[in-house]
Structure 1
Amino acid sequence: MKLCAVQLASCKGDLGRNLARHLRCIEQAAALGAELVVFPELSLTGYEPTLARQVALPVTSARLQPLQAHCDQFGITVAAGLPLPTAQGIRIGMPILRPGLPPLAYTKQRLHGDELPFFSPGDQSLVFASGQLKLGPAICYESMFIEHAAQARAQGAELYLVSVAKTAKGIREGHEHYPEVARTLGFAVLLANCVGPADTFIGAGGSAAWDSQGNLLAALDDRSEGLILLDTASNTASGVPLDMSGT
């Protein structure tokens, strides 16, 4: 199975433009044979906690229909990032759109301290199937606790699907932590980080893939938009420049 992590610069609070860029990424990933694509944390709005309440949308919103249409057209699963409104408050969400199926939504369970004024923590773990592969999603801060990955592994996940918005320091720490997760738990890790301005920091890229022994298969640089294409059948991965012409 081929999976794709997108390293993307989102436009602050601009759902329309970000959505158009997501669609272009999905098209490129599908042309490369990907069956699943994962985007950075809060990719559809940018990682902007102070705007979260005003830009939050449910996964059933008609504004996300173009994403679902692309899933159906290209036979691809899409894990994007979006603030989600719930009865408990706004949550950092990962809408998971699948071809011909109802959407799923995973929400970040462990929040960083500076997120607490803006978001409520999720309270449900999730493992979902894409093709023959079972995946455990994780969103940024919680993925730095091996207990989170261990729970996904115990629920049958065969790959840890990590969506983040990390600084240079954060991504350095991640590149030390995620191979240890892979080695300890015996499953691959696919990481999507943002680049460019986000909240009060600069996204530092470094999107990457590790195999189940913790070997780094491919990684992107700290500033360029691009794709990591992971082939689980051959246990190989490669970095591909992102073509955003026309968006």
Structure 2
Amino acid sequence: MIEVRHISKNFGRHCVLDDVNFCLKTGVTALIGENGAGKSTLMRIISGYLKPNCGEVKIFDKDIENQRLEALSYIGYVPEISALYGEMRVYDFLVWMAELRLVPLLKEAVLAAAKQMNITDVLDEKIENLSKGFKKRVEIAAAISYEPKFLILDEPTDGLDPMQKIEIREFMKQYGKKNTVLVSTHVLEDIDKVDRVLMLSSGKLIKDTDINDFKKISKNKDLSEAFRILCAQVKE
């Protein structure tokens, strides 16, 4: 279980997150909200890259601050901003990332991740020569090479073409059958097949519900309309 308890974060006098609480179990959970709602900040805190002003995050009972190495061993994180090295070959990058994680049976793990993300045909290519869609697949392959129980994806379909988006959504659905997946997105089509929805507004968690109940907010079960209704309610 992933536990997020009373997380708050300020940058100077600006409150970005305000007492955010939730727990995650196996399945796919979407984190949504308007621009500036605090999604990426929360993702960075949960993944251990940013410290909150108060509150705690536990990854399978391991505190992200006080038991950092143990907690991080469960996490695969794909940030919104690419962390790829363009001059490296895809295979070399995947091996390097797996080595950092002390992955056993390293080559087998890398090839399995590459196959899962359908990038075996570009393993010898330089990353800088790949399309944005393939680069995103490489990042995800690097994150899953050590089979993390908790996968965090920040805007994974941003800038991808329609078919690439469908493939990433299908991957999330399959990976979430045995693991915990948290995906932050502003593309509402991404959440159609998730299990649960968390919605942030001005740093506050305003909705925590399963996807079917989220759709019911709209009479037509339209995701965009449901989102607009919730945004309007907050501003009233």
TM bracket, shorter-chain basis? 0.3 to 0.5
Q: Which has the higher contact order (CA 8 A, sep 6+)?
A: 2
Report which of the two structures shows the higher radius of gyration computed on alpha carbons.
2
- TM-score, with structure 2 as normaliser: 0.37
Q: Which has the higher strand share?
A: 1
Q: Which has the higher helix share?
A: 2
